[in-house]
Amino acid sequence: MSQRNDTLMLAGAGVLFVGSLALGLFWIRPMAAEAAQRGPVGAPAGASYPALTKDDELALRASWTRPEDGEDGWSYDLFDVVPTVWDEQLKEYLPRDYTPPVVPDFGIKLVKLGHPRYPIVLRTTLASPKGEAERIFFLENVDTKASFEARLNRPVADAGITVTGFKEVTTPDAQGVPVRRKVLTIKDSKLGKTLEIDDIAPLEFKDRIDIVLKADAGEPTWTFSAVGATFEHNNASFTVKGVDLAAGTVTVDKTFTLNPRKGPRTFTETLSLVSAAPATPAQAPSSTKPAAPAPTAPSTDAFPLFPNPSRPQ
């Protein structure tokens, strides 16, 4: 290499060295001084994550559930995802080739819904020539179909009532038509109340409701008067969630364990008061047998391993 080239290289190195010094003096050092004036950086905001003790960590690990190989068809790897389908009965996504679990019947039915009624009604009266004190009142218990007589201010021991007053009143019905009613005032010693009954219909207690549920097998029977009532039957827990008097329905939650590894599940049904269907005349057998309805199967649409959020959950 010539002496001239050596000189040029030394000159270039000197220029770079001088530039570096200038950069440190006029740019980097003032920035460092400004950072020193601001002080040390503070701790990040927010609560710190609580530390677990060894016992807490072991207890947490014991509660973890590990999936088994091929459980319910959930076998996949990096390149082969599991096609899934939506199960309407279980309300969840499951592998397309899974075996549907056997979900037992709901197990209960609604046999009565409405306001409780007072069973004693006035059927008719018979005036006496001896005056109102000897008027005879003919009463009936609509539940037991037992009939009995009563007079003013004389206790009827078998029924636990005493007639304390009688009057005839005229009131308009829902259509505005005047209706004449015979109204009896009685004191019920069993209820500890004074009530008014008439000869039109049994008295209803509008401030209460009766909900009577019965097991499908016929026994036992449960009677409740409010939403929120709970009871146990066949290893399941039932809760009365809602009542619709106008529709004659009661909504009930049933919670039980279908798969021990997945914990309890809750199924909801709306039970209705269904009247008996009228008998229909027998028909002559047809020569062509109708085809049996096809069983309902879950959708066969394949979805990725992670379900689409737009699908029902």
pLDDT digits (tens, 9 = 90+) for 98-110: 777 777 889 999 9
Return the closest-CA partner of residue 140 out of 159, 162, 163: 159
- Lowest mean pLDDT segment, chosen from 43-52, 73-82, 282-291: 282-291
Look at residue 204 and tell me whether its pLDDT is greater than 80.
Answer: yes
Residue 87 to residue 298: CA distance in whole angstroms: 6
Residue 72 to residue 64: CA distance in whole angstroms: 18
- Where residue 173 falls among pLDDT bands split at 50, 70, 90? confident
Exposed / middle / buried, residue 74 (Cβ in 10 Å: 0-12, 13-18, 19+): middle
pLDDT at 38: 61
Helical (H) or strand (E) element with 92 = strand 92-95
pLDDT in tens, 247-275: 999 999 999 888 777 788 898 999 998 65
What's the mean pLDDT in 77-88?
74
Assigned token pair, 208: 């209460």
Backbone angles phi, psi at 24, to 5 degrees: -65, -35
Residue with tokens 């009677």: 223
Look over the chain and give the mean of its residue pLDDT values, rounded to a whole number: 77
pLDDT at 51: 73
pLDDT at 28: 58
- Where residue 45 falls among pLDDT bands split at 50, 70, 90? low
pLDDT at 226: 87
